[in-house]
Amino acid sequence: MEYIKTNKGTAIVTDRNKYMEQEEFCGCCGNQTSPATEVEEVYYQDILSEDHKIDTTVKGNKLFIGDKEVIGYDHKIFGGHVPRHLTIRKLDDSGSRPWARFVSGFDLLDDGRYWLAIGDENYKYYDTFKEVNDFLISQGHEGYGIYTEEDFIV
């Protein structure tokens, strides 16, 4: 497992992608303005510290927060670590194809609090997962799921 430091703490590298950026030429004279360069993208997931206070359970290859399984959690990638950034989604089956509609950003904090953001202006810290669950249900999001966030890129 490969780790890197980010502004949030420690992260697990989930993938790497190398490619060549094409050389560039001046449109007027045709002279080369920049050479071809190799670029490496590093994909990562921020993780909670080892001494975090979030109530989580790893059962087999599955991660649970409260009684909710974190969908998209891959034990081979995370190795038992807990991802810091998650999302709340709710199944939307009103169209011809069901999909998990984004409801909220959902971050876990080392000190045991939860951060929930619904919309640009409505974010709040919660002390317990029960408070998060009660709020989501009060907003009409019963049946929601917790999903891993998409990888970030360095």
Q: What is the pLDDT along the chain (154 residues), one digit of tens a residue?
A: 899 999 989 999 999 999 988 888 888 888 888 888 899 999 999 999 988 899 899 888 999 999 999 999 999 999 889 999 999 999 877 767 767 889 999 999 999 999 998 876 678 999 999 999 999 999 888 889 999 999 999 8
Taking the CA atoms of 103, 107, 108 and 112 in sequence, report the sign of the dihedral they define. Answer: negative
Locate 112 and state its tokens: 């045991």
Q: Can you tell me the distance from the alpha carbon of 91 to that of 100, in angstroms, rounded to the nearest whole number?
A: 4
The Cα diameter of the chain in Å comes to 66
Strands (E), 72-150: 85-92, 99-108, 114-118, 122-126, 144-148
pTM of the model: 0.81
- Residue 59's alpha-carbon distances to 20, 73, 128, in angstroms, are 42, 12, 21
